[in-house]
Amino acid sequence: MLKLDIFLSALANGLMTGAVYALIALGLTLVYGVLHIINFAHGAMLTAAMFAVFICHAWLGIDPYLAVFILTPLFFGLGYAIQRLVISPASHGDDSNILLVTLGLSIIIENGLLMGFRSDTRSIDVPYGFSVIEIGNLFLSTPKVIAFVAAFVVAGLLGLLLVRTDTGKAIRAVAKERTGAALSGIDVEHIYAVTFGIGAACLAIAACLLMPTFLVNPRAGNAFVLVAFTIVVLGGMGSIGGALIGGLIIGVVESLSGLYFGESLGQIGIFLIFILVLLFRPTGLFGAKA
């Protein structure tokens, strides 16, 4: 009986963490699907967002769940500006240059944070940090339940945006047919920047959801993005639904392998999956066939 409880609680924990992983992967996969590049600055941007949450809370006294309404538009704007003013002009329209530019960006952000905050690990103290929600014999961390629900709401909203709005349709159009999009009157550069902005906004939301239970240091984002990258590959590069399901799977795998192989080996299961997917289904679970 106890065994089952532990298993269930690990499962629930995995699902909840997985939902936030999915949110981080969502931005990565969207940018890949539309701009056809892997944003190497994704991890550093997540770290920056986590520090932004830290600053909001520690210096300005703003609760993370309130900060989300400030940081999401702020990071959208930052992402938009970075794509429009830095990545696009510096890459001269060459995809391989974009990779280098985002790599350079990540180095700048990371070292900027190191300069400002040293390599110390910081956390924020919120009153609900250790509160739990009791469901039967399960005790679920309240911030994690909130993160789980919020991640789904965000994914749903993003889905609606992509399907229902002209901007969303333009994003999908640009992803597959740039020339046709331009000739339909779509400003491709603008859409790239919007997409990049959405990716950054997802990171800001993820950061607000993470900070009540996680720690931040200038390299904190990298670990998440490594996992997010696995999710993107598992779900199929560029697939939104794939990122969501992939995130949940990876969250559960990490949690269960932590349970059975020990906490420090929790990520082994993830990379095992990564290798298996690359070997047997390189297009991912939901990716288009090559």
Task: Report the half-sphere exposure of 177 (CA within 13 A, side-chain side).
Answer: 8
Indicate the residue among 66 and 288 with the shorter CB distance to another protein. 288
The minimum distance between CB 240 and another protein, in angstroms, equals 12
Q: Give min distance, CB of 175 to another protein, in A.
A: 7
Among 94, 134, 185, 279, binds another protein (CB under 8 A): 185
Q: Which residue, 180 or 262, has its beta carbon nearer to another protein? A: 180
| Smallest separation (angstroms) from another protein to the CB of 166 | 6
Residues 123-182 that bind another protein (CB under 8 A): 166, 169-170, 172-173, 175-177, 179-182
Q: Which of 22, 113, 147, 186 binds another protein (CB under 8 A)?
A: 186
DSSP the chain: -HHHHHHHHHHHHHHHHHHHHHHHHHHHHHHHHHH-S--TTHHHHHHHHHHHHHHHHHTT---HHHHHHHHHHHHHHHHHHIIIIIIHHHHTT-HHHHHHHHHHHHHHHHHHHHHHHTT--B----TTTT-EEEETTEEEEHHHHHHHHHHHHHHHHHHHHHHHSHHHHHHHHHHH-HHHHHHTT--HHHHHHHHHHHHHHHHHHHHHHHTTT--B-TTHHHHHHHHHHHHHHHH-TT-HHHHHHHHHHHHHHHHHHHHHH-GGGTTHHHHHHHHHHHHH-TT-SSPPP-
Name the residue nearer to another protein (CB basis): 72 or 195: 195
In the bound complex, what is the minimum distance in angstroms from residue 100's beta carbon to another protein? 22
Q: Which is nearer to another protein, 183 or 279 (CB)?
A: 183
Our finding on whether 279 is near another protein (CB under 8 A) is no
Question: Is the Cβ of residue 95 or residue 187 nearer to another protein in the bound state?
Answer: 187
CB of 33 to another protein, least distance (A): 10
Is residue 60 near another protein by the rule CB under 8 A?
no
Q: Smallest gap, in angstroms, from Cβ of residue 91 to another protein?
A: 18
Contact residues for another protein (CB under 8 A)?
166, 169-170, 172-173, 175-177, 179-187
